[in-house]
Structure 1
Amino acid sequence: MANVIRRAEERDAASLQHLQAATPGMPEWTQVHWLGLLSGDAIVVIAETDGEVAGYAVASLLRIPGEVVAELEAIVVTPSHRRNGLGNGLLRYLLAEAQAAGAIRLMLEVRTGNGAARALYQGLGFQEEGLRRRYYRDPVEDAVLMSLQFPQEAVAVEKGQE
């Protein structure tokens, strides 16, 4: 099995929409929405296994005066490709892209009951910062807020401040 992780392109919009629609609990983004993400400030990375889309990750860039923060919007790996490192690879690629875009940290929320995702995030250095009660629907569940602060020297180098 050959795995490739790369930035998604406009030609991937239909595959991304199809994968998201097939994932229970995910909001339904139209192909137009995907095209907007791919042509805008969002970071969208895709995992392919033997030429087929096996997963993706999306982060938006929030520009606050004086800083940029990335927020993980979604990370999806098809059930048949889970537990083989694709989620870790997608997230690492996304983190590198967020840093290259000048982000100082990446933040996210995750269901309290999603132990696999929480372990993945903690393994990459994410810290729990809080809880949003009853954040998720169908079923109702709390969200754990997590973030990863990027090393300031890496951000300074990206901004040309060596």
Structure 2
Amino acid sequence: MATRNILLRGGDARDIAAIETLMAQAFDPRFGEAWNRGQTLGVMAMPGVRLMLAYVDDIPVGFAMTRTVIDEAELLLLAVVPATRRAGIATALLRSVEADGRDAGVRQLHLEVRAGNEAVKLYARAGFAKVGERRNYYRGADMQAHDAHTYLKMLA
């Protein structure tokens, strides 16, 4: 999908309905990656959490959520609806996360991703390096366990 214009804007708890819809579309329940409303709102209320939403033609198509503590940040969630993938939306969100981190003095950006997730290619292209593994971290709707891989990118 070629997009004409990706608009990024900061968000907050008032965007919970959009976030829930995006997660339902972006995360396959077989893998247990999506958060429920309580988890999402609980994390959003924590200090240092930032939400960035992506829009195409005034329609929310993705988001990124990060948490910064002193000089480290973690990309908690990055989601793009399947119909708009491979159009630069995830890259735009990731670049925004990195720019915000640099502006805030973040030196290290961490993330975790399910083993086998196609997003690993995005993170590798962006300069993230695999630094660890969490065995059986995710539990899907069928209770099958899936490993998570942890990645790191130095920003400073």
TM-score by length of 1: 0.79
Deviation of the 1:39 alpha carbon: 8.5
Name the residue aligned to 1:141: 146
3-state DSSP class of the match of 1:72? strand
Deviation of the 1:8 alpha carbon: 2.0
Deviation of the 1:55 alpha carbon: 0.2
Deviation of the 1:6 alpha carbon: 2.3
Deviation of the 1:2 alpha carbon: 2.6
Where does structure 2 lack aligned partners over 5 or more consecutive residues? none
Deviation of the 1:12 alpha carbon: 2.9
Contact 1:17–1:30 at 8 Å: present in 2 too?
no
Letter in 1 for 2:67: S
Q: How does 1:149-160 map to 2 (within 5 A)?
A: 149-151=154-156
Are 1:27 and 2:35 counterparts? Answer: yes
Letter in 1 for 2:115: T
TM-score by length of 2: 0.82
Deviation of the 1:10 alpha carbon: 5.2
Contact 2:48–2:69 at 8 Å: present in 1 too?
no
Cα displacement string for residues 55-102 of structure 1 (whole angstroms, at most 9, x for unaligned residues): 000011123xxxx21011100001111111111111111111122122
Larger Rg: 1
Query: What's the Cα RMSD here?
Result: 2.2
Contact 1:109–1:146 at 8 Å: present in 2 too?
yes
Aligned residues: 145
Q: How does 1:52-91 map to 2 (within 5 A)?
A: 52-63=59-70, 68-91=71-94
Among all aligned residue pairs of Structure 1 and Structure 2, give the percentage whose two residues are the same amino acid.
Answer: 32
Name the residue aligned to 1:120: 122
Contact 1:47–1:54 at 8 Å: present in 2 too?
yes
Where does structure 1 lack aligned partners over 5 or more consecutive residues? 152-162
Cα displacement string for residues 35-61 of structure 1 (whole angstroms, at most 9, x for unaligned residues): x72784212111001001000000111
Q: Distance in 2 between matches of 1:37 and 1:17?
A: 13
Q: Distance in 2 between matches of 1:31 and 1:135?
A: 16
Deviation of the 1:32 alpha carbon: 8.0
Letter in 2 for 1:75: L
